[in-house]
Each structure stands twice: as C-alpha cells, then as structure tokens.
Amino acid sequence: MSRFPEPGILPSEAREILTRLGVGGDALRGPRAACSPLTGEVLAHVPEMGAGEVERAIARAHAAYLAWRTVPAPRRGELVRLFGAELRAVKADLAALVTLEAGKIASEGAGEVQEMIDICDFATGLSRQLHGLTIATERPDHRMMETWHPMGVVGVISAFNFPVAVWSWNAALAFVCGDAVVWKPSEKTPLTALAVDAVFRRAAARFGDVPEGLSTLVLGGRDAGEALVDDARVPIISATGSTAMGRSVGPRVAERFGRAILELGGNNAAIVCPSADLDLTVRAVAFAAMGTAGQRCTSLRRLIVHDGIYDALVARLKTAYGSVSVGDPRAAATLVGPLIDGAAFGTMQLALDAARAAGGTVTGGERVGEAALPGAFYVRPALVEMPAQTDTVAAETFAPILYVLRYGAFAEAVRLNNEVPQGLASSVFTTDLREAELFLSVTGSDCGIANVNIGPSGAEIGGAFGGEKETGGGREAGSDSWKAYMRRATNTINYGMKLPLAQGVTFEV
Ligand code: NAD
C-alpha cells in the first residue's frame, strides 16, 4: 500500500525540469538550500536576498508601474493571456516541480498549474470589464461616476502549500489592473517560484514592451518579507500564510496606511446531518481531510456529526483512512504525499498528544517510511474522536488530522462550526432544505466559504476566495476581488452654467 521514492535521483530530475523551464545559471547559485519533502534531499541552492535587494526591486517595480498604468487595460490583458499560453505549454513540467518541491500528488500539482491558467483566462476577460458606476446626482446638469485606477506596487508574500497558484491569483489581477508585482515566495519553495518567473519572462518577451521590473521575484526569508511590508512605495501587501504571520504583517501595513489582503489560517468544519448522502459524504470528507496531506488552508479539520449517524459514518471513515495509500506523490496510486518537513511532523505529534490528553481517541497519525527515508516525513492521516471542542481542536494544525465531534441539535452544530478563531471554509452535508439554507443564512456559518454537499477545500477561481476572523478578511481571485488592486475615484462633472451645492447649501460671493 505504501511506496516511497528512491533517494539519490531527485536532484538530477529537478535539474532537468528546471532546465526545460528555463531556470539555470545564477538563479541556481546561492546560500539557501531548496529541499524536497519527498526524500529530504537538497535539490539545488538558490540566492538569498536581503533588505537592500528588496529595496532595489521595489524601486524598479515602482518605475515599471508608472509606465504600465498608462497601457490600456485590454492591452495589459494581452500580457496575461500570453502568460496563460506559456503556462499551458509547460504545465506538465511545472506541475512535476510543484510535486518535487511541495510534495503534492501528481494530480494536485497539475491542478495547481491549471488554477494558474484559469486565473489568466479570467483576468484576460476582466481586462475589458474594469468598470465603475454612473450614479444619480441630486444636482441639475451634473453627472457623477466612479473611475478605477491602478494602485502601484503589489507585494505578494506566499506560503509553501500553494507555491505557484497564490502568486497567480494576485499577479494576474494586478497586471490587468495596471499594477506591478514584487513576489516574496515561501523560503520552502523557491524553485517553483524561479520557474514561474522564467515562464513569465517568456510571456513578457513575446508581448514586447513590458517595463523592466513589472514582475520581480525576491527570494528570502522573513527579513525579505518584512522589507516589503514596511515599504511605503508598496500600497498593497497581499500576504498568504499563518495567522501568526498575519498578526505581524497586518498592523505593520496599517501603521503606514497601506492596504493588506490577508489570507491566513483556517480551521474548517463540516456538519453531517441525519439526512446526508453518506456515500457522497465519505468521498468528500476523505478528499477534504486527507488531500494535500492536510496541508491546504481549506483542509477539513473538524467533522461535526449527528448522534444518529455517528457510528455508521465513523466506521466508514476508519475504513477509508486505513486503506488510503501514503507514499511517493508521483505514484498514480498515492493519495497522500509527505508533510513539508520535520517541524510539521513535530507539530502534528504535539497536537495528537494534546488531543489524547484531553480524552481523544486517535486512529492513525504514525510516521511511515522512516527507515528508508529518515529525512522525509510521511504520516498516516489521523482520525481523532473528541469528547469536546478543546483548545487543540480550535487551533489550526497544518497536518492531516481530522477531529470528529458529535452533535444533537442543528443549532449546536452551527455553534461548534463557528466557535473557533478562524473563519475560512465550511460545509454542511444534508438533503434537508431547511438545514442547508439555515447554514448559508446570516445565522449560519460565519466563514468566507460555506458549501452544501461538497467539502470545504478545492475552490474554483471564479468565486472570491478568503475568510473572516483570524483568517484575515482578504478576498482574492474571482468575483469583484479585482477592486482590491485598484483605487476608486468618485468624479462629479458640472456641464451647466450654475453652481448648485449639494444638500441645498448656499454660498454666494
Ligand atoms: P508561514 O506563515 O510560515 O509563511 C508564509 C509566508 O510569510 C512565507 O513566505 C514567509 O517567509 C512569510 N513570513 C513569515 N513571517 C513573516 C513576517 N513577519 N513578515 C513578512 N513575511 C513573513 O506559512 P506557511 O507555513 O508557509 O503556510 C501555511 C499557512 O498558510 C497555514 O496557516 C495555512 O492555513 C496558510 N494558508 C492560507 C491560505 C489562505 O488563502 N487563507 C492559503 C495557503 C496557506
């Protein structure tokens, strides 16, 4: 049931993929090691940029913005269309690199690149739809309207678990909105970032006259992120990562009156009601809780099950958890790849210990493949039956742990769904119309994403993505998320000969 990758092969495999993607030379020289969670091996070394280099990147990006903002938006959309075309051409290689560097199974690696392509298509269409309103005015011979203008440099800070898609959600919109982008990817996934940068450069070369610095990659750790966060020439910071990171970034951006788009931790629940279709529910729960080895911000972490179906559902889930194949994410049969690193494994074990101490019963959660691969961290997903929603359950542990809780009345289930600090994604499984509608209503789920008969993970780019409370409140990708990357000007035009004042005020000189 388990197959693990052979050590010794991945570095050369990664080199070959990087070469095909156009990454080499100085981009692969530097002090920082890029590792693969598949074996724990170092795949390559990359540069590390300090505050000075970030400062210079911002200066170039600002200059690029001043030129780019005057390019008509549909023409800006053409650049994003070309980028999408380049991505289509390299989808398999980029997806394979996502798998090598972030540990996603092959179909999820490919899905992540597909998401990049989808947002490019979306943004290309959007480039002809950045429209404001015409508003009724109380003054005769006047017209009132709103105009949307580019903002400037968008700083994008991204997490390891969506190493390429998150940048694209931001960058594709930012480019059509007339902004420039400086990207600080996770220090755990620099190779995929270098690859995306190379692909974008090819699109820019095809486009022809893209200002130098429109898209800049700065590789580094927290210091590089902080340099971006504190720079007043960066009016928008879009930061994706842990709530701890957002707690630092949010106030720093606010201090200088910048705009922060925060996409932080989630602690996503699903309620399973007595009328739920259990076949569908088991499949949805399995994917949402174990997919990406529980390392999605939208991973299902809490299952709130009605007393009447609890035993039947938990028995079926135990069977699913026992049969799921953990191992090499490149193997077709594998559904659960590795955790990103040893720290993630340590955090997972601490959470399981705390759950046991609070009366929880743990099934699974143990490390596998350790003898063959001491530097890689593969675990069996854990199912934890809990007597109550304890502090451990209320915290996000970025690992495949599904806490199962019981409920009696639907109101209690909704209360449990909402009684955590995070507010990203949520679901209800029911065929009862009243329960479904209540869950989506004002007194239902308090999350940014609320679903019916589908798990909380696996969003499409057409909708606005993000969550409330400690998830940060940001929205990205579809719907009208583009407005966060532009500034709105309200314009009043007097085409008459008089000067009527609003609210009947008179002022004659
Ligand atoms: P992380 O917070 O450790 O790091 C994320 C990024 O922030 C990295 O690039 C890191 O270098 C940078 N960073 C960290 N501290 C910083 C600071 N003080 N100032 C500036 N930059 C800083 O997160 P991670 O471990 O890479 O990712 C996992 C977390 O991300 C989880 O909590 C997950 O829920 C969250 N996440 C959220 C979303 C979402 O859309 N809501 C999406 C993906 C991941």
| Stretch 188-199: mean pLDDT | 98
CB of residue 226 inside a 6 A radius of ligand 1? yes
**pLDDT over 70 percentage in the chain:** 100
| ipTM (interface pTM) | 0.98
- In this structure, the chain runs to a length of 509
CA distances from 440 to 277, 433, 434, 444, 452 (A): 19, 11, 10, 5, 8
Amino acid at 150: P
Establish whether residue 247 lines the binding site of ligand 1, counting it when its CB lies within 6 angstroms of any ligand atom: no
Give the per-residue pLDDT at 479. Answer: 97
Paired with 406 in beta bridges are 305
Residue 263: what pLDDT? 98
Predicted confidence (pLDDT) per residue in 420-462, tens digit: 999 999 999 999 999 999 999 999 999 999 999 999 998 999 9
Tell me, using a 6 A CB cutoff, whether residue 78 lines ligand 1: no
Residues 19-49 pLDDT 10s = 999 999 999 999 999 999 999 999 999 999 9
Q: What tens digit of pLDDT does each residue of 157-192 get?
A: 999 999 999 999 999 999 999 999 999 999 999 999
Distance from the CA of 383 to the center of ligand 1, in angstroms? 25
Ligand 1: residue whose CA is nearest its atom 21: 225
Residue with tokens 């053409």: 78
CA 70 distance to own-chain centroid: 30
The pLDDT of residue 336 is 98
Determine the distance separating the centroid of ligand 1 and the alpha carbon of 475, expressed in angstroms.
16
CA 172 to chain CA mean position, Å: 14
Going from the Cα of 10 to the center of ligand 1, the distance in angstroms, rounded, reads 26
pLDDT digits (tens, 9 = 90+) for 65-113: 999 999 999 999 999 999 999 999 999 999 999 999 999 999 999 999 9
Torsion of CA 214, 164, 93, 17, to 10 degrees: 70
Q: Measure the N-to-C terminal CA separation of the chain; round to a whole number of Å.
A: 88
Whether residue 282 has its Cβ less than 6 Å from ligand 1: no
> In 10 A of CB 417, how many CB atoms?
26
Mean pLDDT of 233-247: 98
Read off the pTM. Answer: 0.97
Whether 265 is in the pocket of ligand 1, judged by its Cβ within 6 Å, is yes
Output the DSSP codes for 90-139.
HHHHHHHHHHHHH---HHHHHHHHHHHHHHHHHHHHHTT-----EE--SS
Return the pLDDT at 1: 43
Which residue among 101, 187, 218, 240 has the greatest number of ligand 1 atoms within 8 angstroms of its CB, and so is best to mutate?
240
Cβ of 380 less than 6 Å from ligand 1: no
Tokens of 400: 């495949």
Query: Average model confidence (pLDDT) for the chain?
Result: 97
**Tell me: the pLDDT tens digits for 48-67?**
998 999 999 999 999 999 99
For residue 220 and ligand 1, the question of a CB distance below 6 A is answered with no
Q: Which atom of ligand 1 is nearest to the CA of 244?
A: 2
Q: For residues 47 and 32, what is the distance between their CA atoms, to the nearest angstrom?
A: 6
The verdict on whether 263 is a catalytic residue reads yes
Taking CA atoms only, the protein residue closest to ligand 1 atom 39 is: 263
Query: If you measure from the C-alpha of residue 186 to the centroid of ligand 1, how many angstroms do you get, rounded to a whole number?
Result: 7
Residue 186 CB less than 6 A away from ligand 1: yes
Catalytic residue among 263, 385, 396, 435: 263
In the predicted model, what is the mean pLDDT of residues 296-320? 98
Ligand 1 centre distance from Cα of residue 139 (Å):
49
- Which tokens in the block code for residue 395? 């915290």
pLDDT tier at 2 (50, 70, 90 boundaries)? Answer: low
Three-state secondary structure of 442-472: CCCCCCCEEEECCCCCCCCCCCEECCEECCC
Give the pLDDT confidence score for residue 101 in this predicted structure. 98
265 CA from centroid of ligand 1 (Å): 8
**Helix residue ranges per DSSP H, 130-189:** 165-176
